[in-house]
Amino acid sequence: ALKLATKAVAKDEHNTAAVLLRGLTLHHLRKTEQALEVLEAAALEAPQDFAAQYFYGWVLCENRLYGDALAPLKRAYAIRKDHPDLLVLLARCCIEQNLREGVSYLQALRRFPSFRDSPELYNGLALLWLGELDYEQALENLRIAHQKAPRNAAVMQNLAVLYDQYFHDPVQALRYYRYCLAESQRVDDRQRSASVQRRLRAM
């Protein structure tokens, strides 16, 4: 694929689709620096091309460069606002950087049936509200996430931490830590189990 994409670009270096294909094949071959160089060039040359902005932002996210990813993803959003995977990437960038604007991207995702009942969506909203020090909104969204996925260990751990560190309610905190520990052990999530056990011993 890389050989063919490189030939296509050699024939027409301004063909955005060919340049994107070359960048994506480089990414999949783990040639990260080259991939980002190629995709950045495509994004700069075609600022109004949705795919050029989206895929550059996506590969930046894949490499955990969330701060850099926001600019091309926002340009993609200005072109097209109804793309659920783009909203997920924008929300992820905001959560990683604790940016309030992520709330609007997550709320927009609720329009799509595949995300409406996603516990991750409400868990993400809770984390963003927590960053804004709005503990009641964080709790409300974590409760919704817990209702939608009662056995989700990450949600239970976040509920436990919220009650423990922010509401100073050890009774509720212990309850959710214990639920989280049981579920973590059931799925053999040793890292989460160890973390929860340490906190339980301390309490």
**Residues 171-191 pLDDT 10s:** 999 999 999 999 999 999 999
Confidence check: pLDDT of 193 > 90: yes
What's phi and psi for 64, nearest 5 deg?
A: 60, 25
CA distance 56 to 184: 36
Question: 79 vs 29, 47, 48, 76, 110, CA distance in Å?
Answer: 29, 10, 7, 5, 20
Confidence check: pLDDT of 117 > 90: no
Confidence check: pLDDT of 8 > 90: yes
Confidence check: pLDDT of 158 > 90: yes
- Higher-confidence residue of 131 and 44: namely 44
Mean pLDDT over each residue of the chain, to the nearest integer: 95
152 sits in the region (left: phi over 0; alpha: psi -120 to 50; else beta) called beta
